[in-house]
Structure 1
Amino acid sequence: MYGLVNQAIKEMVVDGHGEAVWEKIRSEAGVVDVFVSMHQYPEDLTDKLVRAASAILHTNPSEILAGFGQYWVGFASRNYDYVLDMSGQDLLTFVKNLNNMHARIGLWMPDLKPPSFLVTDETPGTFKLQYRSSRGGYAPMVSGLLKGLGERFNTDVTIEHTRGIAQGLDYEEFIVCYATRTQSAMCR
């Protein structure tokens, strides 16, 4: 993964728990303290950070990943808002444009291995989302991302991870219910 992902993990930990906790996590994971945003790091480095954070914060890895997904949206907004702005001005449009956004980012990051997203079964206020990735175990991050996008677009979001790899599929499936905070309709 590119260093900017690991940099965002560091920022999330420091923002939420302070430098001393980050130092414990970094030390436990056996990683350096400085990440170069556009440098490619081994895939397992991020996994080591998640496992170390889980152990030190006494939180399961799924919760760490979900929290990171939510944090990532704010991190990306602070650093790359112009890229996000090109992908849509509401939750559904943005999610439908994730693959296009990743294709544009791939021009800057030639080694990028982005996941893919497919919106299906769209009805007013709900849709199903299929998430495919060459990296296993990141479905909780997608739930966090969707929550973070809800915050970005002032939209209430509920997410249900319904099925996936564990059931023999080649993707993870989510049902997403959403309503802008100015609408009277609420998610179940």
Structure 2
Amino acid sequence: MGARVTRMFRNFNLENRVHREISKEKPAVAPRHAGSVPPPAGSAEAAEIADSMNQKNAPLLALLRSVYVESKDPAAAAAAAEASKEATAGTEAERRPLRFSLPGDPYGLVELTDVPKGKLTIAEALKALSSHQRQPETWTPEKISQDYSLDLKDTKALLRFFIPFQVQIIPPKSTNAKQIKAS
């Protein structure tokens, strides 16, 4: 009920109030600041400003000539530093021969012959993890890190967090359930 009453008062004589507001004289625009008003195009001030902009300022020109900028591409500098490191260090000492690989052309990749020290191929990682899982007393983290030229800390983390192909057989709830027999 209250909404009806407020709507009636709000819409009362709406057209007359709108026409009265529209017919009012518009307020005058605030005057602009004298400094921001550009001089007229044909005036003497405009010509004077244009001349001062086109003239050479000798002290500023001398300062500009004294500046010397030498720029270097960071990517090119890093590549040059890397190339110099590789030239000084023997590449044979940084790589090790491949210990294990999958037969054929796995995953459509080119067959590798050597691997950087501190890195493993997927096949080597799976072989090392499965060997450790089957014989943990023989394949200790120390032996794996020594055989594959890995850091001991990384090898322990690898063996702790990556467990490949762990098969668990869950027994059925009832004795009547069918089971797949191993052949």
TM-score of the pair, normalised by structure 1: 0.21
**Higher strand fraction: Structure 1 or Structure 2?**
1
Structure label with greater radius of gyration: 2
TM-score of the pair, normalised by structure 2: 0.21
